[in-house]
């Protein structure tokens, strides 16, 4: 995966969900992320507000 989706997630952190106080993002194949995308994902995880959950899978 390239960095574009992760950049979009970072931009959307300021906005909450209209339907629930919880938001879940499922990310498949974390092991296929480029190094730069992994770095941005770590920044995203550090900035997650309460009520947001990220579930990731890997084939390794």
DSSP sequence for 5-53: HHHHHHHGGG---SS-S-EEEEE--GGGS-HHHHHHHHHHHHTPPTTEE
Contact 1, 35 (CB under 8 A): no
Structural domain of 46? 4-56
Backbone conformation region of residue 19, classed left if phi is above 0, alpha if psi is from -120 to 50, else beta: alpha
- Average pLDDT of 47-57? 93
pTM of the model: 0.82
Eight-class DSSP state of 4? H
pLDDT at 16 over 80: no
Structurally, the chain folds into a number of domains equal to 1
What's the distance, CA 28 to chain centroid?
11
pLDDT tens-digit map of 21-42: 888 999 999 999 999 999 999 9
**pLDDT, position 3:** 92
């Amino acid at each position: 995966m390239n960095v574009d989706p992760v950049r979009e997630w970072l931009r959307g952190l300021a906005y909450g969900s209209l339907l629930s106080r919880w938001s879940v993002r499922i990310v498949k194949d974390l092991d296929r992320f480029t190094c730069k995308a992994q770095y941005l994902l770590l920044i995203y995880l550090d900035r997650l507000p309460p009520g947001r959950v990220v579930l990731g899978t890997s084939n390794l």
